[in-house]
Amino acid sequence: MKCYCVVNFREPLQMLDMAKPTPEGGEVLISVSAAGVCHSDIHLWEGGYDLGNGRTLSLKDRGVRLPLTPGHETVGVAEASGPDATGVQLGHKYLVYPWIGCGSCPACNSGAENHCSAPRCLGIHRPGGYAEYMIVPDTKYLIDIGDLDPSQIAPYACSGLTTYSALKK
Ligand SMILES: [Zn+2]
Ligand SMILES: [Zn+2]
């Protein structure tokens, strides 16, 4: 399958041909329909986050390894699932929630995986949606979008959540 990857920071993304993954356990294979480009993808490509006052958070410190397939705003069709996956309907379109944690710390256990200090986010720590297919580790990260437009819904996974969070505050 084709993947658009950051191979070296600050160089154009390269198209790599990788093996199409097979879902195992509770995983789901998503055939990508739409992938948003986020502001933070630019930082990913640059190799770090500007924290202001001349300070930078390097992606190495954040656990990012290259080559990386970015893309954390993804909608796709569930094509296959592992033997332990429950509640997914193959052929349905899903928005993929990318902010995945370690699954065992207090933040994760309280349902706030986005606050996990050992994150395993899709498109940052693990392959994301700039590819023909991506693996989602559990069906709980999939939101069925029915007949909504994938390209309109994909940014909800990050841009939409950011706006929602700001409004709630
Ligand atoms: Zn955690
Ligand atoms: Zn984002």
Range of the domain at 14: 2-168
CA 97 to centroid of ligand 1, rounded, Å: 15
CA 10 to centroid of ligand 1, rounded, Å: 30
CA 16 to centroid of ligand 2, rounded, Å: 23
CA 149 to centroid of ligand 1, rounded, Å: 32
**pLDDT band for position 135 (cuts 50, 70, 90):** very high
Number of domains in the chain: 1
pTM for the predicted model, two decimal places: 0.93
Domain CATH number, residue 155: 3.90.180.10
Report pLDDT for 51.
85
Cβ atoms within 10 Å, residue 58: 11
**pLDDT band for position 71 (cuts 50, 70, 90):** very high
Could you tell me which of 66, 57, 53, 61 has the C-alpha nearest to residue 8? 66
Sign of the dihedral through C-alpha 62, 68, 70, 72:
negative
Distance CA 169, CA 157 (A): 18
Q: Which ligand is nearest to the CA of 74?
A: 2
Contact 32, 132 (CB under 8 A): yes
CA 156 to centroid of ligand 2, rounded, Å: 9
Distance CA 86, CA 74 (A): 20
The mean pLDDT of the chain is 95
Distance CA 102, CA 53 (A): 31
